[in-house]
Amino acid sequence: MAEPILGGPATVVETACPLDCPDACSLAVTVQHGKVITIDGSHKNPVTDGYICAKVRKFGERVYGPDRLLHPAVRTGRKGDGRFKRASWDEALNLVVERMQRAKADAGAESILPYSYGGSNGLLTQDNLDAQLWRRFGTSRLARTVCAAPTGAANMALYGKMPSVTYQDYPDARLIILWGVNPSASGIHLVPYVRQAQKQGAKLVVIDPRTTPLAKSADVHLAVKSGTDVAVALAIHRYLFTNGHADTAFLDKHTTGADALRERAEPWTIEQAADVAGVEASALARVAELYAQSSPALVRCGWGLERNRNGGNAAMAVLALPAVAGKFGVRGGGYSMSNSASWNIDRTWIGTPEPDTRIVNMNHLGRALLEYEDPPVNVLFVYNCNPAATVPDQRRIIRGLEREDLFTVVFEQVMTDTAVYADVLLPATTFLEGYDFAKAYGPINLDLGKAVVDAVGEARSNADVFGELCARLGVLSPNEPTGELDLMLEVLNRLPEEIGEPLRAGDLPTPPFGSAPVQFVDVFPNTSDRKVHLFPAALEAEAPMGLYRFQPDPASERYPLALISPASDRTISSTLGELPRRDVKLMMHPTDAAARGLADDDAVRVFNELGEVHCILDIDAAIRPGTVSLPKGLWRRSLRSHTTGTALVPDTLTDLGGGACFNDARVQVASLPTA
């Protein structure tokens, strides 16, 4: 954080956090002499309730930190050595335009790959003028699947992304199952609602390979092996069906495919699933019994369970539970998943339909850069994203980024692991320097954030830069907005009046069904027939072994340990990963450490056939045996090996949705003799 400047008036400016976190907090930022001094939560959003995470409280360290990109620059050194010379915006954009036009003339516009993810989830910063540019220029399209693709596919197929139970209704539940989610690290505003429910007598079940803070006070903690959630959920389905707890009236009236689901669940006895998942059968039986007997019962489906070969089917099986058990129709009952689609905002401001161009799965970036032909990727344009740190198969990606014949543009706030490989660097504003619409995906909340300080250095907003590129590339239509302010007003005008008006007045809008809808009372599935599709044919065809099937663990004798990379309390995905940190630690169970002769704080190498990571060992019984954990969102600079956990992750895809299999990394760990 910037040093407080003594003297002179300070003002507190309200804005909102659009970062990739479920909560979309309302913020109160103290500004003095045009600089951010402190960032805290405001009370505008009742869920924020005046406090925020420690991550964003430190966001000033990014805004004014030594890694901030202050002006455009052009590479002068070898790819990746970080040597650049300053350029004007005009020079930099001319170069980008010239290389994009040349690429289109030489090999077609599909040889250009735009690459972005959720560095900001705001409506201005993502899928706005950038989408306009790529569609009109005819570039390759990106399947943004690094996160939430399997759960999104399941939620869409089953319920058409029906709005789900929001934080405010958790205290009404008598049973809460937190499945593959750790709100103490990400989406922290859920925690007090869970605690309140517990105080009011609710039972808590946590399903996670680690003893998370909430797992410590859970009535049952199932520390399942990564990738086995589908088996556990199917065993609960089987229990419900065979013990007369399936709600046949609800199934008949509101669902299709229940018989097929029941058939696929049939092999999964409690004992069989417990054996596969590595948990006590009695504990799993208790969870099934608690779920059958409790009402309201709420399943919070997180993103931890999707990051493996069975992730899509796991999400299907977990999200199908309330339909089979008849847990809807009561406040505090049903399921919680992403509420990002709840506002039903169709981005009409993107005036161009998607072209029928090549789709590149973002998890295959390394392959795309090194292997794709017809056409090869000749221009890569990265923004809102740091794939060199976050995307599977890091070594292959770095080899791709090192290609001398690849022209890479990185439009970023700070010098990321990816930015050092750029040919042209374009400095981007942070959310504290511009407008954006912050849309929550935990609670149902939408807010308009505004600049609290001027742009730092020569940084420009996404709207400004993509608008300018549209103009320079000749794909801008007359009277279209190009700058951030115009675009913000355009979006406001295009939002439905009941959303746009309160935002214009500085208030929070409420969706037509209320901000805390009861499923199957206030909201219903957005599927074609308004029913829950428990066995959708398209997904049965997509999954390699069919729906509700289990693919065995990829561990081998050489690489027996499952490496997971859960969210931490340090970064939002990889945002803020540039901030200095003490040694990165690998979490390992005492029995695994003893078997390898390892001691606490030993320097270790974590390795498999894809790569190697060097870090410090943290022996802790809070992780299940056979599983080790590195934090998500690490940057290469934070590790002695200059590699992160993604160097050990295969670029295989999940069974549904084409997602990343982060938790399918299987590794060995040994001491590092030359530490």
For ligand SF4, the binding residues (CB under 6 A) are 17, 19, 21, 23-25, 52-53, 55-56, 188, 572
Shortest CB 437 distance to ligand SF4, Å: 14
* Total residues belonging to the chain: 675
State how far the Cα of 207 lies from the Cα of 236, in Å rounded to an integer.
Answer: 13
Shortest CB 461 distance to ligand SF4, Å: 19
Shortest CB 26 distance to ligand SF4, Å: 9
Shortest CB 46 distance to ligand SF4, Å: 13
Longest distance between any two alpha carbons in the chain, whole Å: 72
* DSSP code at position 432: G
> Which residue number, 53 or 648, has a Cβ lying nearer to ligand SF4?
53
> Which residue number, 25 or 598, has a Cβ lying nearer to ligand SF4?
25
* 339 class by beta-carbon count within 10 Å (0-12 exposed, 13-18 middle, 19+ buried): buried
State how far the Cα of 443 lies from the Cα of 429, in Å rounded to an integer.
Answer: 27
Q: For the chain, report the end-to-end CA distance as a whole number of angstroms.
A: 32
**Residue that has been written with the tokens 């019962």 in this structure:** 297
> Which residue number, 47 or 561, has a Cβ lying nearer to ligand SF4?
47
> Which residue number, 31 or 95, has a Cβ lying nearer to ligand SF4?
31
Shortest CB 289 distance to ligand SF4, Å: 35
State how far the Cα of 605 lies from the Cα of 608, in Å rounded to an integer.
Answer: 10
Do 409 and 382 touch, CB atoms closer than 8 A?
yes
> Which residue number, 16 or 648, has a Cβ lying nearer to ligand SF4?
16
Shortest CB 56 distance to ligand SF4, Å: 4
Shortest CB 170 distance to ligand SF4, Å: 17
Shortest CB 40 distance to ligand SF4, Å: 9
SS3 annotation, 287-309? HHHHHHHCCCEEEEECCHHHCCC
Task: Give the tokens for residue 183.
Answer: 């709100």
Return all residues near 258 (Cβ < 8 A) that are at least 6 apart: 246, 251, 324, 534, 535
From residue 342, alpha-carbon distances to 336, 337, 606 in Å are 12, 11, 41
| Beta-strand relationship, 561-564 and 603-607 | unpaired
> Which residue number, 426 or 438, has a Cβ lying nearer to ligand SF4?
438
State how far the Cα of 575 lies from the Cα of 55, in Å rounded to an integer.
Answer: 9
Task: Give the tokens for residue 571.
Answer: 């970064």
> Which residue number, 55 or 237, has a Cβ lying nearer to ligand SF4?
55
Do 647 and 653 touch, CB atoms closer than 8 A?
no
Shortest CB 357 distance to ligand SF4, Å: 34
Do 533 and 157 touch, CB atoms closer than 8 A?
yes
State how far the Cα of 43 lies from the Cα of 623, in Å rounded to an integer.
Answer: 36
**Residue that has been written with the tokens 């199917």 in this structure:** 234
> Which residue number, 22 or 626, has a Cβ lying nearer to ligand SF4?
22
> Which residue number, 53 or 451, has a Cβ lying nearer to ligand SF4?
53
> Which residue number, 53 or 93, has a Cβ lying nearer to ligand SF4?
53
Shortest CB 187 distance to ligand SF4, Å: 7
| Beta-strand relationship, 603-607 and 665-671 | antiparallel
> Which residue number, 24 or 369, has a Cβ lying nearer to ligand SF4?
24
Taking the alpha carbons of 534, 318, 235, 652 in that order, is the dihedral positive or negative? positive
SS3 369: helix
> Which residue number, 575 or 643, has a Cβ lying nearer to ligand SF4?
575
Task: Give the tokens for residue 263.
Answer: 């058939």
104-127 as b/e: b if 16+ CB within 10 A: beebbbbbbbbbbbbbbbbbbbbb
Shortest CB 375 distance to ligand SF4, Å: 39
Task: Give the tokens for residue 63.
Answer: 């805004």
Shortest CB 24 distance to ligand SF4, Å: 5
Residue type, 461: S
